[in-house]
Amino acid sequence: MREKAAGLRLTIDLAALAGNWRRLARLAAQAECAAVVKADAYGIGIAAAGPALAAAGARTFFVALPEEGVALRRALAESPVPQAPIYVLGGFFHEAAELYAAHRLSPVLGHLGEVERWRRWQERGQAALHVDTGMNRLGLSLEEAENLARSGGPGEGVDLLLSHLACADEPAHGASEAQLRRFLEAKALLRLPRASLANSAGIHLSPTFHQDLVRPGIALYGGASHPQAVSDPVVTAEARILQVRTVPRGDTVGYGAVETMKRTSRIAILAAGYADGYLRAAGSSDAASGALVCIEGHLAPLVGRVSMDLIAVDVTDLPQGLAAPGRWAELFGPNIDINAVARHAGTIAYELLTGLSRRACRRYVGQEG
């Protein structure tokens, strides 16, 4: 019934998600392959993604915030690994210390104040330590890491050293090698049991970057992470066709009158827009073409601006009657590359996936078992 009343439907292929994880695990065969499921598993739903990844073989997970860790722990309750380590990249929220204890969450300690609070906390379990090697976001500087090593290290239970690559998606960029050198220096200083540096893109760098554990994120969900990356689409987004109308040559379509019809055209109006996470910048104008959609195997270009709830597409060249009210147009999925849509919108697949609307009808396919 939900789909009958929806303007946007999302088909989420959990078998493709599992297949992407297995492919990455093979690429980093000498290291453990974890799974990053922050931002509600990049928009696809942590309650479904967590168990699917666990069934595929993932044994360690990363989230951004403790509340995400709580949701994941609950999702894993009936999975093969209900006690799997869950690392919180945002660190140790001491005001929420009881959540870390109750749900066995492991903070990634990112500054000396957190390290000290962690040392004083009586109920601590496992934790990781983040060193900054060039991103300049979270993490201890190398000088701080050296001082910490001299003072006895981060404390009991800290079993993983990690850092994050800034430019791994650009193979020719020298920043990754420089970060690796700094990371190995920190690793030698702190001597923690395990180390993790590679994100999705970093998995495609040399095996030295893999260390003991790799942390894929976007590559699990079908987004591009590296020029050599192969990732199957996980999300298919489709918008309902509401109406097909004829627009005379010389008329404009949509807000701002930014696109003028160069011929009399058939225009299909779709029930999705930027309120659903389909970004306004993906639209078209007289100055620049926009993204494409796919209707029954035929491509159709956007016309004019994307509005809050509606998108216009030109179906003039499609067979008569193929685009009809009640049918569905693919916004991205197996026929429309999400990365191409993102480029038209001046962004990346991460933003499209994590911005997917809560009002969309979601259906999950490909569950194992």
pLDDT given at position 160: 98
What is the rounded average pLDDT of the residues 243-250?
98
143-158 confidence digits (pLDDT tens): 999 999 999 889 889 9
Give me the residue label for tokens 């997917």: 356
pLDDT given at position 171: 84
Contact 270, 310 (CB under 8 A): yes
pLDDT given at position 302: 98
pLDDT given at position 1: 57
**All residues at 6 or more sequence positions from 117 whose CB lies less than 8 Å from its CB, including other chains:** 92, 94
Is pLDDT at 44 greater than 60 in this prediction?
yes
Amino acid (1-letter code) at residue 144: E
Is pLDDT at 368 greater than 70 in this prediction?
no
Active site residues: 38, 255
Mean of pLDDT over the chain: 95
Instruction: Please state, for a pLDDT cut of 90, what percent of the chain lies above it.
Output: 89
What is the rounded average pLDDT of the residues 309-333?
97
Is pLDDT at 93 greater than 80 in this prediction?
yes
Return the domain boundaries, the chain. 14-221, 235-336
pLDDT given at position 184: 97
Is pLDDT at 227 greater than 80 in this prediction?
no
Is pLDDT at 231 greater than 60 in this prediction?
yes
pLDDT given at position 224: 80
What is the rounded average pLDDT of the residues 242-263?
97
265-287 confidence digits (pLDDT tens): 999 999 999 999 999 999 999 99
- Cα 276 to the chain's mean position, in Å? 16
pLDDT given at position 369: 52
Is pLDDT at 174 greater than 90 in this prediction?
no
pLDDT given at position 121: 86
What is the rounded average pLDDT of the residues 26-55?
97
Where does the pLDDT of residue 5 fall: very low under 50, low under 70, confident under 90, or very high at 90 and above? confident
| CATH top class, domain 235-336 | mainly beta
Q: 34-48, 164-178, 318-332: lowest mean pLDDT where?
A: 164-178
Contact 47, 35 (CB under 8 A): no
Is pLDDT at 329 greater than 70 in this prediction?
yes
In the structure encoding, which two tokens stand for residue 237, read together?
A: 């987004």
Q: Kindly state the DSSP code that residue 183 receives in the 8-state scheme.
A: H
**Helix, strand, coil % in the chain, rounded to nearest 5:** 35, 20, 45
What is the rounded average pLDDT of the residues 218-239?
89
Pick the CATH number of 14-221 from 3.40.50.2300, 3.30.230.10, 3.40.50.300, 3.20.20.10: 3.20.20.10
In the structure encoding, which two tokens stand for residue 272, read together?
A: 């999705």
Amino acid (1-letter code) at residue 311: I
The helix or strand, by DSSP H or E, that contains position 332, with its residue range, turns out to be strand 328-332
Amino acid (1-letter code) at residue 68: E
